[in-house]
Structure 1
Amino acid sequence: MQWVDQFLNFLAKPGARLVHVFIIVLCVLAFDFFQRKILHKLLKHVEDKTKNFWDDALLHSARRPISLVLWMAGLSIVNQLIYRADDPEMAEIIGATSHVGIVIAITWFVAEFIGFSERKFITQQQKKLPGDESRVDSVTIEALCKLLRLSIIITSGIVILDTLGFSISGVLAFGGIGGIAVGFAAKDLLSNFFGGLMVYLDRPFAVGDWVRSNDRDIEGTIEYIGWRQTRIRTFSKRPIYVPNSVFSTIVVENPSRMSHRRIYETLGIRYDDIGLMDAIVDSVVDMLNNHPDIDTTQTMIVNFNAFSSSSIDFFVYTFTKTTDWVKYHEVKQNILLKIANIVTKHGAEFAFPTSTLHVYNETEPAVAPELAGLFDPKQNSEQKP
Structure 2
Amino acid sequence: MSTLIAIKYAILVLVLVLTLFFIRGFTKNLRRRADSRPGIFLKSFSLALDKMAPISILLLCLSIFLDDLRSTYPQFFSFAPLSFTSITALILLGFFFQKFKKNALSLFFTKSRKGQTSYPITRVDTLSKLISIGFYFVLALFLLDAFGYSANTLLTIGGVGAAFIGFAIKDFAANFFGGIVIYLTQPFGVGDQIIIKQKEVKGEVQEIGWYLTLVIDEEKQPLHIPNSLFSNSIVVTPSRRSHRLIKEVLYIPHSYFGITYSLIEEINSLLKTFDKIDPNLRHEAFFSGCEPTSCKIEIMAYTEVASLQEYHSIKQHLLKATFDIIEKQGAKLSEPTLKVSFDSPINFNK
Interval of TM-score (by shorter of Structure 1 and Structure 2): 0.7 to 0.9
2:345 is matched with none
1:217 is matched with 200
TM-score by length of 2: 0.85
Shift of 1:308: 1.2
2:317 is matched with 334
- In structure 2, what is the Cα distance between the partners aligned to 1:98 and 1:67? 16
- In structure 2, what is the Cα distance between the partners aligned to 1:78 and 1:322? 67
- In structure 2, what is the Cα distance between the partners aligned to 1:262 and 1:184? 48
Q: Which of 16, 21, 28 is the equivalent residue of 1:28?
A: 16
Q: What is the SS of the residue equivalent to 1:315? A: strand
Q: Which of 9, 25, 31 is the equivalent residue of 1:37?
A: 25
**Length, aligned pairs only:** 340
Structure 2: which amino acid aligns with 1:47? D
- In structure 1, what is the Cα distance between the partners aligned to 2:168 and 2:81? 38
Q: What is the SS of the residue equivalent to 2:262? A: helix
- In structure 1, what is the Cα distance between the partners aligned to 2:272 and 2:59? 76
Compared CA separation, residues 169 and 45, structure 1 to 2 (3 A): closer
Compared CA separation, residues 77 and 237, structure 1 to 2 (3 A): closer
1:5 is matched with none
Aligned identity (percent) is 25
Which whole-Å deviations, capped at 9, do the CAs of 1:300-346 have from their partners, x for residues lacking one? 12111011122111100012222221121122122222222322222
Which whole-Å deviations, capped at 9, do the CAs of 1:108-148 have from their partners, x for residues lacking one? 33343444444455666777799xxxx54221111111111
Shift of 1:149: 1.1
- In structure 1, what is the Cα distance between the partners aligned to 2:275 and 2:281? 14
- In structure 2, what is the Cα distance between the partners aligned to 1:73 and 1:225? 37
Structure 1: which amino acid aligns with 2:284? I
1:368 is matched with none
Q: Which of 44, 59, 65 is the equivalent residue of 1:78?
A: 65
Compared CA separation, residues 129 and 348, structure 1 to 2 (3 A): farther
Matched, 1:264 2:247: yes
- In structure 2, what is the Cα distance between the partners aligned to 1:104 and 1:265? 65
Structure 1: tracts of 5 or more residues without a match: 1-8, 358-385
Shift of 1:271: 1.4
Matched, 1:103 2:75: no
Matched, 1:314 2:297: yes
TM-score by length of 1: 0.78
1:282 is matched with 265
Q: What is the SS of the residue equivalent to 1:267? A: strand
Where do 1:206-245 residues align within 5 Å?
206-245=189-228
Shift of 1:98: 2.7
Compared CA separation, residues 112 and 41, structure 1 to 2 (3 A): same
Q: How well do the aligned residues superpose, as a CA RMSD in angstroms?
A: 3.0
1:11 is matched with 3
Structure 2: tracts of 5 or more residues without a match: 342-350
Greater alpha carbon shift after TM alignment, 112-121 vs 222-231: 112-121
Which whole-Å deviations, capped at 9, do the CAs of 1:212-262 have from their partners, x for residues lacking one? 121211111111111111111111111111111111111111111211111
Name the larger-Rg structure.
1
Shift of 1:97: 2.8
1:383 is matched with none
Structure 1: which amino acid aligns with 2:16? V
8 Å contact kept, 2:48–2:96? yes
- In structure 2, what is the Cα distance between the partners aligned to 1:330 and 1:26? 72
